[in-house]
Amino acid sequence: MSQNIYDSAGFFESYSKMPRGLDGLKGASEWPLLRSMLPRSIRSMSVLDLGCGDGWFCRWAISQGASKACGMDVSKNMLERARELSLLDDKHSAARFCQGDMEDLLLDDEAYDIVFSGLALHYIARLEAVIQQVYKSLRPGGHFVFSVEHPVFTAPRRPGFSEGEPSEAQSWLLSDYFAEGERTVDWLGASVQKQHHTLSSYLRTIRLVGFKLTAVDEWGATDEESRKHPDWPNDGAVPRFLLVSARKSPSENL
């Protein structure tokens, strides 16, 4: 079972004060890149969001004309907030949310046109099993779009930048990259368990289960206007997020 840190009252309160917790989609710096990986129109499509958090992607999907948007998360706190936020506006009330652990994921066959996951798969140890479930749950031609913390960022057992003067360029201390497995990091005053997978593991697993890769990108804060981040002044040294888009063949016979 994956760690359910968001149901810790103190952690959830701290997370809720962060840009993603306050602003949802608007607080996700990598969203413009992720949006470009999704179909131009999702009207009448059926959508699943794995690790949905407070449901921002489901609300966006409904606002774009999706016929169904379902969010799954292991956290009761997150699901309660997702339902509350969705009921604030009638145009989002069609979004549906359920509790589930991705480590034990079991999805219906060919039930969705799009499966999305934002910054959740790096908590999962059984990566191949989850992606296999995603593949079978998609209709032919369906899309799988996800983001994770970048493997360069998840690799170190003691993550951090090199020490130096504030005016000096700082380096990310990379270590243990090829030693995949659990990492415990201190974040928001708690010990958070994550899973490190290499870049090749993510991409190889996607292809192994039958997907065709359609886009791969990396996001990190730089001095470019579209990539600035108020909380990460030292970046440019490390890519924060890996973004991947894949597609199931329109015909299983191809």
Mean pLDDT for back-to-back runs of 10 residues, the chain (254 residues):
75 75 73 94 98 94 96 93 86 88 95 97 96 98 97 92 63 92 86 94 97 94 62 66 96 59
Write phi, then psi, for 144 (nearest 5 degrees).
Answer: -120, 115
Residue 234 CB contacts under 8 Å (≥ 6 apart), including other chains: 161, 170
Q: What angle do CA 138, 30, 222 make, to 5 degrees?
A: 150
Whole-angstrom CA distances from 176 to 145, 149, 162, 184 are 27, 16, 16, 13
- Residue-range domains of the chain with CATH: 5-162+169-247 (3.40.50.150)
> SS3 of 189, please?
coil
pLDDT at res. 152: 95
pLDDT at res. 254: 45
DSSP symbol at 7: G
> SS3 of 91, please?
helix
Instruction: Indicate the pTM of the whole model.
Output: 0.90
